[in-house]
Structure 1
């Protein structure tokens, strides 16, 4: 019985070529993006907004018209003032303009929150959103009227009557802390979408 001759070297199909090294490295470098953090923004904002409204109402009910009350050994003095300006009594007399600016800030944060994947950015924007909403609530619902309402401030640091530092409230503090956190993350190269701006620069080079 005859057998088929073995195939010649020219008839043997070449084996599949290994994938290019660059393609493997590129695929390995593509890590999945972090989860969206929209809920963090609104959870932080809701919590701080509620605290701001509660503390303002308590301050008005218990401190308005009274002498400054020292707490923490005189580190903080509690006293109620009505502020027609911005945070820390700046831009006095521009209440309606500041109300419109606050509305713009709220809209901008809500719009960008859909693309947030960084927890740090979400916390920072949530704090800023809480502060904007807290003072905006005063401008709408407190005297002398909508878009002209005076913001309730009640915290005087170190000395009474704002002599050492402007009198402020929880909303002002939230705006400052949130803004500082966002600036810090930006300096560290952390972007709001969960990526690193430093990594993006290296890839572009």
Structure 2
């Protein structure tokens, strides 16, 4: 579902806003602007597309391997968020040419991720649905681990997570 939502929003934004000025939704707070990001979430590490493609592939494989042991609904939701986000951006890296559709790629695994949600324009990086799911899933994963929830459905209780 997350993967589909990410692909759908990117497709709609490219069809309606690519090459257009930003669409201001709430002045000073939210606008939609298409950029092609060669870095990681929120434009971190721009220019390291190949590395992030390999990392995203590793994350997807690790999540799929972990899912075999999964017996916890909170962890299933969390890993679903992470997997959907990672697959969304990985699809762009594998299939989307660096400067948009229809232009030759500069090399294998060099596609750029479509980012389009700009909050606090000029003060915060542009992002997409996949980026938000990766960040939210990461936060929830840290919380679940901190509280002692295990992927097999058990919970470790200690003085720190009582």
TM more than 0.5: yes
What is the TM-score of this pair, normalised by structure 2? Answer: 0.88
Tell me the distance in 2 between the aligned counterparts of 1:89 and 1:189.
Answer: 32
1:151 corresponds in structure 2 to 113
Tell me the distance in 2 between the aligned counterparts of 1:72 and 1:50.
Answer: 26
What is the TM-score of this pair, normalised by structure 1? Answer: 0.70
2:96 corresponds in structure 1 to 142
SS in structure 2 of the partner of residue 97 of structure 1: helix
2:70 to 113, 116, 123: 116
1:164 corresponds in structure 2 to 123
1:103 to 30, 44, 57: 57
CA displacement at 1:198 relative to structure 2 = 1.5
1:58 corresponds in structure 2 to 12
CA displacement at 1:191 relative to structure 2 = 1.1
Q: How does 1:184-199 map to 2 (within 5 A)?
A: 184-198=143-157
Relative contact order higher in (CA < 8 Å, ≥ 6 apart): 2
CA displacement at 1:90 relative to structure 2 = 0.8
CA displacement at 1:76 relative to structure 2 = 1.4
Tell me the distance in 1 between the aligned counterparts of 2:55 and 2:62.
Answer: 11
Higher strand proportion? 2
1:19 corresponds in structure 2 to none
Tell me the distance in 1 between the aligned counterparts of 2:26 and 2:134.
Answer: 23
Q: Larger radius of gyration, structure 1 or 2?
A: 1
1:82 corresponds in structure 2 to 36
SS in structure 2 of the partner of residue 117 of structure 1: coil
Per-residue CA deviation, residues 82-114 of structure 1 (Å, 9 max, x unaligned), is: 101111101111101110110100000000101
1:67 to 21, 40, 60: 21
What are the ranges of 5 or more consecutive residues in structure 1 without an aligned counterpart? Answer: 1-46
2:135 to 176, 180, 195: 176
Higher helix proportion? 1
Alignment of 1:128 onto 2:90: no
CA displacement at 1:70 relative to structure 2 = 1.6
- Between the two proteins, the alignment pairs up a number of residues equal to 151
CA displacement at 1:186 relative to structure 2 = 1.0
Tell me the distance in 1 between the aligned counterparts of 2:136 and 2:55.
Answer: 19
